[in-house]
Amino acid sequence: MKTKSVIFDAYGTLFDVNSAAEKCKDKIGDKWESFANFWRTTQLEYTWLRSLMKRHKDFWQITEDSLDKSMRVFGINMAMKDDLLNLYKVLSSYPEVGEVLKNLKKKNVKLAILSNGTPALLNELVQSNDLKDFFDDLFSIESVKIYKPDSKVYDLPVQKYKVKPKDITFLSANTWDVSGAGNYGFNSIWVNRSNDIFDNLDFKPKNEINNLTQLLDLI
């Protein structure tokens, strides 16, 4: 596969969105995983609804708003809110991420993140996981004030690198993001970490991998 740029989604693709709740599972109890999944689903729903309503809030505000609701739904002590938010800023990367980025860097392709996250959140994530030096760019939707899968988001790396969409390989664990990027024209790869079923959104990726290490056989 020839490509000029490899671009990753951040949340759920490079970084484990459940890791904040998992680090508090002793306090949350057995419902920590259900709570983490509900928080993530609500967070995404808020991004889509705010895009449709044209009532933009940045991703950090949405993360806090969705956490508020999730904690109430699951009856979690609100005194834990600051701890969960602070842990969300430094989500753990998946175990293979560092080694994969190191190997991709040797292939002389541009590496970037394209994310709903704010610039500050993305910077803190890559710094806290010692990944900052691998990336040429951290693209945030904040420059266009609308969330994925709007095409204005996928425009960002195309405009910056002055390439055609087909020259970009894009990876995400989120099927709606894979579809959004694929319909836009990226070579879109699904990182299917949980053996899920792909959504029916007018796009089927040519390549599906279970972890990022398998990407090295494709690039």
Contacts of 169 (CB under 8 A, 6+ apart): 1, 3, 5, 6, 7, 186, 187, 189, 219
Radius of gyration of the chain (CA): 17
Which residue's structure tokens are 């306090």? 27
Q: Is 9 annotated as catalytic?
A: yes
Write down the H helix ranges in the chain: 19-22, 25-28, 32-53, 59-73, 81-89, 97-105, 119-128, 151-161, 175-184
Active-site residue, selected from the candidate residues 9, 137, 150, 155: 9
Q: Are 132 and 126 in contact (CB under 8 A)?
A: yes
**143: how many CB neighbours lie within 10 A of its CB?**
11
Q: How far is CA 48 from the centre of its chain?
A: 15
Cα 104 to Cα 38, 46, 63, 75: the distances in Å are 34, 34, 31, 44
Catalytic residues: 9
